[in-house]
Amino acid sequence: MIKNKLIVLSFITIIVIVTASIFANLRAPQSEKEKLPFFPDLAEKIESVNYISIKGNTDSINLSRKNDIWGIDEFDSYPALPDKVKSSVLGAADLKINAPKTALPRLYHRLGVEGPEVIDTSSLLLTLSDSNKNKIIEVIVGKPRLSSSAKNASGLYVRRPSEETSYLVDGTLNISAIKTDWINRNLFDIPAEAVKSVSVVHADGDSFELFKNEIGQEKFDMKNIPIDKELTSELIINRFGTILQDLQINGAKSQAMFLAPNSEIPVSEINGNTKIQMNTFQGIIANITSFEYDDRYYASFKFSYNEEITKNYNQQNDEDIQVSDIEIYTNKLNSDTTGWWFEIPEFKYDIIKRRSNTITRDIQNSLLPKEKTE
């Protein structure tokens, strides 16, 4: 009798455990394999994606693929960061539905899925299209997952523009409507202490040359400075050495396409330009052409090297810089910059546009109280 009771109790226990397990599985989150992709067909169409559009409330960007190279339309197809483009498309394909969320428009703002047309929203409208500009996917990308219980799980809120229901999806989308987020802004970094000379020629003929005789010299001298003149503030003069130092661009334009409106005249020739040659102690030569247009500042760059200067530098400083390394370096710089006008920061152009009469003063005036320098 006792044995039968034990069998019955054991059977009941098993039923309870199995039932509890079934309910637990029903209530538990779906595994990654069980979760459905938010874009079921995108994985098979990744190679068909040729256009990417991202719209925010104040910014937007359009990218196109030509000959398997992604470029930014607004920058005349200047190359976009390939890894960023790849992660954006693959990230969209990897999104998995976690749970449906609100379908009430008045609550969209909580999840950031109201759409980019709403003022001050963080919403982004992402569109991927094929070679014929047929839409493959279109989605409003909202805020990251809000739940504090999911700190280790990446997720965000999304909504299809044609649907009212929003969703929490697992995955990430590293996208931005800011154009400069899609390019390598750091063109190069030639430190000021490496600069041996800077010569400046303005369109109207105004010109001057600054130089240093040796590495470590703190202040530039001026070649052929008039006998009754002297250089102004050391701070102002030494800025000329920083033109190529940590140069970050704000955009790019094709030299072949950057023409004045309704004309065949290059924009660079409308108001004249300034030409600068910078030489380093190691033998690198940088030729810069710069101009201002429509309240923006542009510059082009062409690099070369002087083998004799490199050899002399090695002898004088007991170093062993290979001429072949200098050649490789300058070739890489030219590969990255040839054919482009780069939008440079205003503070860099402020250095370039300085004229000879702004960097010298009468010697007799030097006896007067000096003005506060910039």
Specify whether 289 is located in the same domain as 171: no
**pLDDT above 50: residue 164:** yes
Mean pLDDT of 262-280: 91
Q: What is the mean pLDDT of the chain?
A: 89
Lowest mean pLDDT among 16-30, 99-113, 212-226, 266-280: 16-30
Whether 206 maps to a domain, the answer reads yes
What percentage of the chain carries pLDDT values higher than 90? Answer: 76
The values of phi and psi at residue 289, to 5°, are -120, 130
Whether 151 maps to a domain, the answer reads yes
Q: Which pLDDT score is estimated for 331? A: 97
Question: What's the rounded Cα separation, in Å, for the pair 58 and 238?
Answer: 38
Tally of domains within the chain: 2
Print burial letters for 301-322: b (CB count within 10 Å at least 16), e (below 16): bebebbeebbeebbeeeeeeee
**pLDDT above 60: residue 28:** no
Question: What's the rounded Cα separation, in Å, for the pair 274 and 289?
Answer: 6
Confidence of residue 316 (pLDDT cuts 50, 70, 90): confident
Q: What are the pLDDT digits (tens) for 179-235? A: 999 999 999 999 999 999 999 999 999 999 999 999 999 899 999 999 989 999 889
Specify whether 250 is located in the same domain as 356: yes
Confidence of residue 268 (pLDDT cuts 50, 70, 90): confident
Question: What's the rounded Cα separation, in Å, for the pair 324 and 302?
Answer: 18
Specify whether 56 is located in the same domain as 165: yes
Q: Which of 182, 216, 235 is the last residue of a domain?
A: 182
**pLDDT above 70: residue 12:** no
Q: Which pLDDT score is estimated for 149? A: 56
Mean pLDDT of 84-108: 97
Q: Domain range for residue 345?
A: 186-367
Instruction: Match 């990255």 to its residue by tokens.
Output: 336
Question: What's the rounded Cα separation, in Å, for the pair 19 and 38?
Answer: 32
Whether 73 maps to a domain, the answer reads yes
Whether 28 maps to a domain, the answer reads no
207's tokens: 């010109």
Q: What are the pLDDT digits (tens) for 99-132? A: 999 999 999 999 999 999 999 999 999 999 999 9
Q: Which of 120, 154, 182 is the last residue of a domain?
A: 182
Q: Which pLDDT score is estimated for 22? A: 41
More confident site: 149 or 176: 176
Whether 90 maps to a domain, the answer reads yes
Lowest mean pLDDT among 60-64, 242-246, 265-269: 265-269
Is-contact 266 273, C-beta < 8 A? no
**pLDDT above 50: residue 8:** no
